[in-house]
Amino acid sequence: MTADISTVLGDDGILIATMDSAGRTMNILNEGLAGPLAEIVGRLESDPAVKGLILSSAKKDFLAGADMDRLWAISSAQEAFDESMQLKAFIRRIELCGKPVVAAIHGMCLGGGLEIAMGCHWRIVVDDGKARLGLPEVKLGLLPGGGGTVRMPRLVGMQQALQWMAEGTEVRAAQALASGLVNQLVASKEDALLQARAWCLNNPKPQQPWDAPKFRYPGGDSRTPAAAQLFSVAPSMASSKSFGNYPAVTHIMSSVFEGGVVGFDAALVIESRYFAACAISPESRNLIGTLWYQLAAIKKGQSRPAGLATTKVSKLGVLGAGMMGAGIAYAAAKAGIEVVLLDSTQEAAERGLAYSSNLLDKAVKKGHSTPDKRQALLALITPTADYARLAGCELVIEAVFEDRAVKAAVTQKAEAIIGVDAVFASNTSTLPISGLAQASGRPANFIGLHFFSPVDKMPLVEIIVGAQTSDQTLARGFDFVLQIGKTPIVVNDSRGFYTSRVFATYVLEGLAMLKEGVHPRSIEQAGLQAGMPMPPLALQDEISLSLALHVADQTRKDLAEAGQPYVGHPGESVLRQLCALGRIGKKAGRGFYDYAEDGKTLWAGLAEHYPLAAQQPGQPELIDRLMFVQANEAARCLEEGVLRSVADANIGSIFGWGFAPFQGGALHYINTMGLARFVERSEQLAAAYGERFKPAELVRRKAEQGGSFSD
């Protein structure tokens, strides 16, 4: 056949088609696969010698999904509609061909891959812990356009399908079987082929359940009382989370509901209409541009010095077994790296190890890991108070107290043991890397690796390049971050680096609003409406007001010592006032909110300290302030050379502090708005609220030249 699919016809007439996209690590539903697949189905339809078809894959995964380049090239709703109808016409041919077609699935079977599998008459999954099935389109602002919103509810019921599709959930083998998404689990790929063959021979004339005259949805279709209940609640629940910023979620619900009151083929057409609406929406363009293309560029090493061989860490040292150190040790061990976890006492180091065993206990309980795997991972981590154990570490990351003297001492002790070419990294969140490197005898090997909390969940690591950090060291830090499955962005050393600096502008803007007399509830609502994961005041409570005040005071002191001016922020006095009242945040049970067992409520005393202004601004004004202040600060970071690329800015903002993903990231926000309009509105905001809104020179310049933020 072609290079992308090979076929073998057995003596029994069963054709095995093995997908193997040429030159790729994954099978993608592109021209290379779609053309030959159509030919194979044609052969099945017309050749009496072919009695059945088994779809399988030669890669480690079944089929990862659609061809994003093709989707990206779509420029009109009609084109999107036609593409989607074409795919489902092909899948419909599979299910109506009158002969058995079985999907023998292993590894990932996502998006278009699962849509094809659902069009097969029988689905067998290799249950080796690696199977993941799902329709993750929503994560890129899309809906499944290959019949997913039509077939999945008919297989697993509307409620389950809606939940999975609206969240883009990846389902494991056991759950897929229990829900009815697949039909059979087997232990190995060989078994899958054997069973698939047997099924074909035993079921020469299969029919999809929905093509049977008496078909009923599991749990009922859109006309049942249960559906009336579901659809009266689900949309409002979804928009209470998304604030209308993710139209794909609503479109998925509409497609499922409307598809449940009409016949199967009409439902397919309805789905394509909603698919077209999603495919050309600004939200999906923003999400795909950043979370697909820019993320891929980062992972391919766009910010890594070129020409240096890739390295791997086999032994890692972690200094400080507190919240961050323990998390870093866990993430590294999970990637198979041997870890020495050091603290000032053996007991403290053991506590760090206990963090991993707790996480693993939970994973075993949920069936996401096994006792053997748990044991193997824990065996990779050696808790100790003895620096000699660091011998042989290619990389050491310190995560001790945020104190220059403590950090300097551990740097020197570790460097006395590790090899001269080992890399030493600091996980500091605020202290400039070039300053910390002064304690090192090898500043060229010194770098910042800024992890986020909780380390096991947060995908980003901000790599900070100090004044003397070598390219070799940067490349090694970069490789390590990829090795543990996280996403690296690379920034130059500067106060607050990139993420903390821009993130702080969001929170402080909320505090400034409070000081002006804006109703705290309006402030919080504006944060959520803007698409931020947490509103500013609640977020400030989480990170603690005293910590923020400490950082502000330290900055003021450092700048004074360096003879540089300090530009205060109106939000700072709010921090000082609440701290003086002992309201230092969530950890104290009191901050902007009062915390109780059953939740939090805004502190009633805010009204007394920050009386409401007679004239309350509208929500759009507040939303603009919260977003412009971040976007502008991100632009300044690029202008000042703190940031090295637009992709790092956008991905760092979404993965680091949850900048509204549908906007495509902090700099892309400016593109979407249009640079000239951003400059104009920034000037208005600056006139009303202060210099911090003055548009960065870089934006102004690009606006004049008709440019935008792209790499």
Active site residues: 450
- Report the residue number, 399 or 465, with the smaller CB distance to ligand NAD: 399
Question: Can you spell out the DSSP letters for 632-652?
Answer: HHHHHHHHTTSB--HHHHHHH
Residue number, nearest CB to ligand NAD: 322
Binders in 10-39 for ligand NAD, by CB under 6 A: none
Looking at the Cβ atoms of 657 and 678, the one nearer to ligand NAD is: 657
CB of 319 to ligand NAD, least distance (A): 5
How many other β-carbons are positioned within 10 Å of the β-carbon of residue 330? 28
Q: Which stretch binds ligand NAD (CB under 6 A): 66-74, 157-165, 283-291, 399-407?
A: 399-407
Q: Does 406 bind ligand NAD (CB under 6 A)?
A: yes
State in angstroms the smallest separation of the CB of 342 from ligand NAD. 6
Among 39, 402, 542, 621, binds ligand NAD (CB under 6 A): 402
313 close to 336: Cβ distance less than 8 angstroms: no
Task: Report which residue type is found at 66.
Answer: A
Alpha helix (H) residue ranges in 203-308 = 225-242, 247-259, 264-279, 282-288, 295-299
CB of 587 to ligand NAD, least distance (A): 12
Closer of 297 and 323 to ligand NAD (Cβ): 323
706-710 contacts at long range (C-beta below 8 A, 24 or more positions apart): 707/675, 708/670, 708/671, 708/675, 709/635, 709/638, 709/646, 709/649, 709/667, 709/668, 709/670, 709/671, 710/646, 710/671
Question: In terms of CB distance, is 40 or 400 closer to ligand NAD?
Answer: 400
Q: Figure out which of the listed residues 275, 424, 451, 497 binds ligand NAD, where binding follows CB under 6 A.
A: 451
Q: How far apart are CA 657 and CA 189, in angstroms?
A: 41
Q: In terms of CB distance, is 196 or 455 closer to ligand NAD?
A: 455
The correct pick among 410, 464, 526, 545 for binding ligand NAD (CB under 6 A) is 410
Exposure string of 467-502, with b = 16+ CB inside 10 Å and e = fewer, is ebbbebbbbbbbbbbbbbebbbbbbbbbebbbbbbb
- Asked if residue 399 binds ligand NAD (CB under 6 A), the reply is yes
- The answer to whether residue 331 forms part of the interface with ligand NAD (CB under 6 A) is no
Q: Which of residues 581-620 bind ligand NAD (CB under 6 A)?
A: none
Q: Are strands 446-451 and 423-426 parallel, antiparallel or unpaired?
A: parallel
Q: Are 503 and 477 in contact (CB under 8 A)?
A: no
Q: According to the binding rule CB under 6 A, does residue 323 interact with ligand NAD?
A: yes
Taking the least distance from each CB to ligand NAD, the nearer of 321 and 666 is: 321
Q: Are strands 65-66 and 395-398 parallel, antiparallel or unpaired?
A: unpaired
Asked whether position 663 contacts ligand NAD by CB under 6 A, the answer is no
Candidate residues 56, 427, 445, 671; the one interacting with ligand NAD per rule CB under 6 A: 427
Residue 319 engages ligand NAD in binding (rule: CB under 6 A): yes
> Least CB distance from residue 433 to ligand NAD, whole Å?
12
Q: Which is nearer to ligand NAD, 142 or 319 (CB)?
A: 319
Q: Which of 36, 325, 585, 617 binds ligand NAD (CB under 6 A)?
A: 325
Establish if 534 lies at the interface with ligand NAD (CB under 6 A).
Answer: no
Q: Is the dihedral of CA 202, 206, 208, 212 positive or negative?
A: negative
Nearest distance from C-beta of residue 446 to ligand NAD, angstroms: 15
Chosen residue from 233, 401, 553, 684 binding ligand NAD by CB under 6 A: 401
CB of 653 to ligand NAD, least distance (A): 16
CA 303/CA 310 separation, integer angstroms:
14
Buried b / exposed e along 105-118 (16+ C-beta atoms within 10 A): bbbbbbbbbbbbbb
Query: CB of residue 465 vs ligand NAD: minimum separation in angstroms?
Result: 17
Q: Which of 109, 276, 321, 340 binds ligand NAD (CB under 6 A)?
A: 321
Compute the distance between CA of residue 601 and CA of residue 521 in angstroms, rounded to an integer. Answer: 10
Q: Which of residues 334-373 bind ligand NAD (CB under 6 A)?
A: 342-344, 348
Rounded distance between C-alpha atoms, residue 189 and residue 194, angstroms: 9
d(CA 423, CA 421): 6
- Cis bond leading into 305, ω under 30°? no
Chain-centre distance for alpha carbon 653: 11
Site for ligand NAD in 211-250 (CB under 6 A): none
Binding flag, residue 429, ligand NAD (CB under 6 A): yes
Nearer to ligand NAD, 159 or 440 (CB): 440
Counting contacts by CB under 6 A, is residue 491 touching ligand NAD?
A: no
Stretch that binds ligand NAD, among 60-68, 288-296, 447-455, 596-604 (CB under 6 A): 447-455
Q: Of 496, 498, 445, 448, which is closest to residue 468 (Cα–Cα)? A: 445
Give whole-number Cα distances, 572 to 261, 539, 579, in Å.
Answer: 57, 15, 11
Neighbours of 669 (CB within 10 A): 26
Q: Which residues contact 676 (CB under 8 A, 6 or more apart)?
A: 703
Size of site (CB under 6 A) for ligand NAD: 24
Applying CB under 6 A, among 84, 250, 303, 428 the residue interacting with ligand NAD is: 428
Residue 410's nearest CA partner among 385, 447, 380 is 385
Q: Looking at 26-34, 313-321, 474-482, 488-496, which segment touches ligand NAD (CB under 6 A)?
A: 313-321
Binding residues (CB under 6 A) for ligand NAD: these are: 319-325, 342-344, 348, 399-402, 406, 409-410, 427-429, 450-451, 453
